[in-house]
Amino acid sequence: MIELGSRERAQPPPARVVWESLRDPRRAGGRQWLELRPGEVEPRVLRAVEPELVVWSSLWPERAGDEIRFDIRPAPNGCLLRWTLLTPGEAPEQAVVGRLRYRLNHLINARLRFSFGQ
């Protein structure tokens, strides 16, 4: 797999809470942060190891082989969450990579983070 992008940021809740939000973003009573845009599809969980790892399938049908890996580590005031976008094939044009990275950063470091009150 080729890494197309990655970013790590602090999240306010403990690792287990973030893991649950990524493992099942649509669970009843959970924070509804995963807002898909037209042309995006619901991710499937490909792998999960509580509370440190969740791997999603791609959000983009035209990039169906891509994976989104979330690594979660405890931190003094919550946890550290790293997303990594991986592709099994060749990297697309930089403009496409930039769009995908921007979208993931918005979902994780804005929507998810804000759902926890930050």
Query: Residue 118 has which token pair?
Result: 């930050």
Enter the CATH code of domain 2-115: 3.30.530.20
- The model's pLDDT over 35-55, given as tens digits with 9 standing for 90+, comes to 999 999 999 999 999 999 999
| Domain residue extents for the chain | 2-115
pLDDT of residue 39: 95
Q: For a pLDDT cut of 90, what percent of the chain falls above it?
A: 91
3-class SS of residue 66: coil
Q: Are the C-beta atoms of residues 69 and 46 closer than 8 Å to each other?
A: no
Mean pLDDT for the stretch of residues 94-108 = 97
Query: Residue 96 has which token pair?
Result: 């496409």
Q: For a pLDDT cut of 70, what percent of the chain falls above it?
A: 99
Q: How confident is the model at residue 31 (pLDDT cuts 50, 70, 90)?
A: confident
pLDDT of residue 118: 61
What are the Cα distances from residue 83, in Å, to 22, 76, 86, 104, 115?
Answer: 11, 20, 10, 8, 17
Any residues with CB less than 8 A from the CB of 54 and at least 6 apart, and which? Answer: 19, 22, 23, 45, 47, 48, 69, 70, 72
- The model's pLDDT over 66-94, given as tens digits with 9 standing for 90+, comes to 999 999 999 999 999 999 999 998 999 99
Task: Please report where in the chains the tokens 């992008």 appear, as a residue.
Answer: 5
